[in-house]
Chain A
């Protein structure tokens, strides 16, 4: 497949998910909590395109609301992590010395926690809930951005435009926001795209383990619920998993596209 049509397909997929998330109450054919116990575990049909769960709730409607949770967590975690990581990384790279050393030690300590472990432990301690999931994932999420931005700042600060700004007496905050932000936007955007995919996957994992949000439907909790009915109702597992997979692969590919575009631009320069 050619690159441009694939990019278009990805943008359409992501837009569809965003549209579904934004207008979930209007788009969902049924309320996500409406039960029909007599029709529990029914497969896909004309009335319920993706079937019904054990309590007879419509899978499609729950997935539309689930997209809301996934995207909300994905975008919130990335925004919080990006803001904190950018500020910490830029300050670390600009100031150097003691501040840099102290920040790097904290980052090393947080990176000593493998993958999702800290988020699981925190979600367990704080209790289930959307806010707690976002907090738990953001607590480690900023570390990657801080390291990336610090590295980039160390490279950029030696370049002529930053040196000129310093020579003209520009303050450190002005250098960060006026000069560095536009020049660091590219690599940060690539990381953000992969970050959304990672956060969506992490949220689904926490919900799957029962540590995510319980009050609203989410892909992870739907999958976990379906696990007990693999033999009789595999659609409970297949469809929500497919949705997570499509979302994650779309954001990963979008990240690849942005990275490729930046590489080409860099070569052109």
Chain B
């Protein structure tokens, strides 16, 4: 167990280093002079020289790389647009994204689990058919369409909820629903598959033979075992939510890290783009790592299989 955890932890650092290297080279992929791209054709030569120096682009590549990591770890990397350290700019946006992702996850779980469980229990009935159609719709409806449709219905026609921005709970509902509904399609599919696998297990027959009621057999014996893979998927999807809310944040003007990255791209703020990509990738990796470790702790079979 310890060696497995150590292995997973140690693997995190080289992958993060690799991601940082890819991010470092982004700026060198730009066609033409990245400094001119950032400042525009009308920039003064003094400005160009100053920014080139700030970004260390006047140095050899290996020194640029060393200084990139030095700036990153010392928190000196500065946004060109905000004129502030990038992590100061990112921190509140990341929190807003976490808030939205948590709400969306709650929505997804509340919708997907009952649908998935009922669909498995009533396999090959109309209920199962509708549940499967729902999950297919969930995975196929694009967020950039579902979001505006929800705005048209709940904000413009009914006037129940605000169109966009960040405020109280009412501002969270529409973006949370947009992300959560899409997620619930996939989650209910996984939940159905997991329940179906467990429902055919012999230990349920044993439980029934012992005279336990059906509700107890389903809730205590089937669901508890079916939940282990579902919890893993929930964890992995949470990582995906944290890192993939660009569209929803843009549609609803939600001030999260996804929207910050898109704005940074358009203002040609390369240091902020690099930092956003790094933070998003690190968050995603970290959540995946925690899920992997939690899964191994909860399920001994996984632990033993992976140690082999």
Contact = CB atoms under 8 A, between A and B. Distances in A.
Interface string B250-280: 1100000000011001100000010001001
Contact of B19 (A113, A223, A224): A113
A194 to B, nearest CB: 10
A169 interface: no
Interface stretch (B40-48, B112-120, B143-151): B143-151
A208 interface: yes
Nearest to B147: A227
A197 B140 contact: yes
A218 to B, nearest CB: 12
Contacts of B244: 114-117
A226 B144 CA distance: 11
Interface in A194-216: 197, 201, 204-205, 208-211
A252 B186 CA distance: 13
Interface string A237-255: 1100110110011001100
Q: Is the interface on chain A under 10, 10 to 19, 20 to 34, or 35 or more residues? A: 35 or more
A223 B146 CA distance: 11
A127 B163 CA distance: 31
A31 to B, nearest CB: 26
A126 interface: yes
B285 interface: yes
Interface string A95-129: 00000000000001100111111101110111100
B96 interface: no
Nearest to A197: B140
Contacts of A210: 262, 266
A252 B141 CA distance: 11
Contact of A113 (B156, B251, B261, B281): B281
Contact of A120 (B18, B149, B156, B265): B265
B26 A114 contact: no
Nearest to A207: B144
Contact of B156 (A209, A230, A242): A230
Interface string B12-37: 00011011001100110111000000
Given A230-B151, A241-B145, A249-B136, A120 B246 contact: yes
Contacts of B261: 120
A121 B270 CA distance: 10
Contacts, number: 117
A205 B142 contact: yes
Contacts of B27: 125
A204 B142 contact: yes
B136 A252 contact: yes
Given A109-B18, A126-B31, A248 B246 contact: no
Contacts of B273: 121, 124
B152 interface: yes
A74 interface: no
A117 B243 contact: yes
Contacts of B139: 252
Contacts of A126: 29-31
A115 B243 contact: yes
Nearest to A200: B142
Given A109-B18, A248-B140, 10 more contacts: A109-B15, A112-B19, A114-B239, A120-B261, A125-B27, A205-B142, A220-B144, A230-B151, A237-B148, A241-B145
Interface of B: 15-16, 18-19, 22-23, 26-27, 29-31, 136-137, 139-142, 144-145, 148-149, 151-152, 156, 163, 239-240, 243-244, 246-247, 250-251, 261-262, 265-266, 273, 277, 280-281, 284-285
7 contacts: A121-B273, A122-B29, A124-B265, A201-B142, A237-B152, A241-B144, A248-B140
